[in-house]
Chains A and B, each alone.
Chain A
C-alpha cells in the first residue's frame, strides 16, 4: 500500500471513530438512564482504545480495553446496582439549572481548542508512529521504575482503603 492511501485510510478511520466518540460522550452526559450512561461510556472508552491503536500505541490500547472496558465498567455497573439508583427515566439525574455548566463547558472548549490550534497549527504525525510493547516495558523498568513502584503501592493502598470504607461494621 502506498503512503498516500495509508494516510487516507488513517484519516477516514479517525473521523468515523471521532464522530462515534463525540456522539457517545454527549449521550453519556445527557441520558436520564444510568445503565445507558454506562453503556455509552463503553463506546467512548472503546473509541479511545481505537485511537491509541491508530497512533501506534499497541500496549496502551490493549491495556485500555482490559482495564477500562473489562474492569472499570463492571465496577460502575456494580456501583449502580448496589446504590439502587432508580433505573429508567427519572428527574433526579441532572441539576435543574444547567446554564452555568453549559457555559463552563463551552468556555473550556473555546480556550483549549484555540490554544492547541494556535500552538500546533501545522504539526504533523508521521505515517508510521508504531511503538512496540518491548520499548514501553524497557522504559518502565529502567527510567521509570520508581514511579512504577510508587503506583503499585498506591493501587494496594486504594484497594485496602476501598475495602475498609465499604465494609459493614
Chain B
C-alpha cells in the first residue's frame, strides 16, 4: 500500500469537514463536521506512524481521541444551554458579539 492512499483520503475527509463547518447552521451538525476533521487528522497520524515503523503515531492518535471526546461533551453542554436560553441551536441566532 502507498502512504499517499491514506494521506489523500484523509485530505478529502478534512475538506468535506471544513465545508460542513462553514455551510451548516445547526450547531449539532457543526460539531459533527468537527469530528470529521479530527478523524481525518487521526488517519494521518496513524499512517505516518506505520510509515516510519513507530508506535508514537498511535499514541498521539489516542490523545486526539481523548481530547475530541472532551470537546464533544463540553460543546453539547454549551449547545444545551444555548437551546435553553434561546429556544434554538441555529448559529445565526448567536450574534450578541456582532457590532
Contact = CB atoms under 8 A, between A and B. Distances in A.
B55 A135 contact: yes
Given A10-B1, A37-B29, A95-B25, A154 B70 contact: yes
Chain A interface size range: 35 or more
Contact of A7 (B1, B29, B36, B50): B1
B59 interface: yes
Interface residues of B, number: 68
A129 B19 CA distance: 33
B1 to A, nearest CB: 5
Nearest to B11: A112
A21 B13 contact: yes
Nearest to B56: A139
Chain B interface main SS type: helix
Contact of B59 (A44, A45, A136): A136
A88 interface: no
Given A29-B19, A76-B31, A151-B67, A83 B79 contact: yes
Contacts of B46: 51-52, 55, 57, 60
A76 B28 contact: yes
Interface of B: 1-9, 11-20, 22-29, 31-33, 35-36, 39, 42-43, 46-47, 49-51, 53, 55-59, 61-63, 65-74, 76-81, 83, 89-90
Interface of A: 7, 10-11, 14, 18, 21-22, 25-26, 28-29, 34, 37-38, 41, 44-45, 48, 51-52, 54-57, 59-60, 63-64, 67-68, 71-72, 75-76, 78-80, 82-85, 92-95, 98, 100-102, 104-106, 108-109, 112-113, 116-117, 120-121, 123-126, 129, 131, 135-136, 139-140, 144, 147-148, 151, 154-155, 158-159, 161-163, 165-166
18 contacts: A45-B35, A51-B6, A52-B61, A55-B6, A55-B47, A63-B65, A72-B69, A84-B83, A94-B24, A101-B22, A105-B19, A121-B4, A123-B51, A125-B3, A148-B63, A154-B67, A158-B71, A166-B81
